[in-house]
Amino acid sequence: MSSYFSELAQQYIDGEWRPGTGSWDIIDFNPYDNEKLASITIATVEEVDDAYRAAARAQKKWAATSPYARRAVFEKALRLIEEREAEIAEAIIAELGGTRLKAGFELHLAKEFLREAVNLALRPEGRIIPSPVDGKENRVYRVPVGVVGVISPFNFPFLLSIKSVAPALALGNAVVLKPHQDTPIVGGSLVAKIFEDAGLPGGLLNVVITDIAEIGDAFLEHPVPKVISFTGSDKVGRHVATVCASHFKRSVLELGGNSALVVLDDADIDYAVDAAVFSRYVHQGQVCMAANRVLVDRSVAEEFTEKFVAKVRSLKTGDPRDPETVIGPLINSRQADAVSSAVEHAIADGATALVHGRTTDNLVEPSVLTDLPANSPLLKQELFGPVALLVPFDGEEEAVRLANDTPYGLSGAVHTADIERGVAFAKRIETGMFHVNDGTVHDEPIVPFGGEKHSGIGRLNGDTMLDSFTTTKWISVQHGRSGFPF
């Protein structure tokens, strides 16, 4: 077991590692074998306050630091991740049940986002805007918001913590990070350790490992943070947005999805099968961009279904430490039970199980369902597990209607031999992202990432980080004397 779980099972506040003072512990379990990885005494409301106050004290000096000096911290953090990649991968496998393939994928993206943070430090630019008033000079500065609160999820905790933490810091802010209680080390204290070792001054990044049962909305309501960056479910995201709005804070919300991968009548079927299987079953389906629904033109449905089912049957479920394993455990028994129950309810309501996976503890074998009634709730909701829904359609118009028939609008994909047909189709789908002849699961450091409808508010990545983690300030200079009417 990685030493991270013994060394980093603490809060990180104002540059110091210290135990929480709550009255109970968060127990960190390996979801595959239920081995106890760590026991962490939770942070209280007082420690959340300590963390935010420390961030506010440290931020002013950091914002005044040359962006070239700030950039050096991220260059060092990147080198440290590269040096410790094997250890971090083992921690990802142990804490969240990620397969070796998934751990490598997450680490690759984390490094890419750190490389972008290196460049982001130098991105903010000011503007001079003309004035109708003689002698007036209008300067518009882009300045840090101050302190950012980051709440990260359990599915890609290392990546999705870094994805908000690194840009916020690079742009001159301080950060308080609250990782998901199922991934407190990989999503929280490990991130702090890397930045500490990279030379980030104390107080600029704080990690509080806690639970809303202890702190309620204190993390959101605290007067210090001006922006809350939240990644998680739309149900919790709605609450985060409501609380933030009532306290005049900006919220950046990256929420759930119910993406459709659409196979048109002229698609390369073998390639579409590969894309669809990956898009649905990567990391056990615990991905917001996963292709919950696979929509297939009826003219090619028989061929596609036969090949899709065969490939799904070949996926190995088991120990995520085994390089051959494709499907590891879900994060906890609650998730495993919810996915299994959803499958059984769908079958009871008339769906046909082409593949009916068994559930053993947190291991949920892949399932493939078809013949779902049009009003099946499963077609509308996010399904965070290894279950694919195959839905035939007749022609593009029906495909567009079905793809859009969901409260979510995060990602999606279409497969066709005609690229421009695919692009025209993509433009009609109500999502923040859509891919032609590819999978639904993509994230790149400089391309705007985010969703429509219940899938979120705002965007991350590239220049959109400036909109999320800085604000503009107008300073006018009057050269000569201004005239006043009285």
As given in the structure block, the two tokens for residue 20 are: 């929480």
**Alpha carbons 286 and 291: distance in angstroms, whole number:** 11
Q: Which of 116, 214, 244, 288 is catalytic?
A: 288
Long-range contacts for 274-280 (Cβ within 8 Å, ≥24 apart)? 274/311, 275/413, 275/415, 275/437, 275/438, 275/439, 276/308, 276/388, 276/439, 277/308, 277/311, 277/312, 277/315, 278/439, 278/441, 279/413, 279/439, 279/440, 279/441, 280/386, 280/387, 280/388
DSSP 460-474: BSTTHHHHHHEEEEE
User: b/e map of 200-236 (b: 16 or more CB within 10 Å)?
Assistant: beebbbbbbbbeeebbeebbbebebbbbbbbbbbbeb
Contact partners, residue 82, CB within 8 Å, separation at least 6: 111
**Alpha carbons 308 and 273: distance in angstroms, whole number:** 5
Q: 37, 40, 47: which is closest to 4 by C-alpha?
A: 37
**Alpha carbons 137 and 127: distance in angstroms, whole number:** 11
Query: Sheet holding 127-129: strands in order across?
Result: 127-129, 136-144, 470-478
Give the 3-state secondary structure percentages of the chain, helix then strand then coil, rounded to 5: 40, 20, 40
Q: Which of 106, 196, 254, 396 is catalytic?
A: 254
**Alpha carbons 316 and 400: distance in angstroms, whole number:** 33
Which residue's structure tokens are 């494709």?
326
Residue 244 among the catalytic residues: no
Residue 116 among the catalytic residues: no
Q: In the 8-state DSSP scheme, what is residue 188?
A: I
Catalytic residue positions?
254, 288
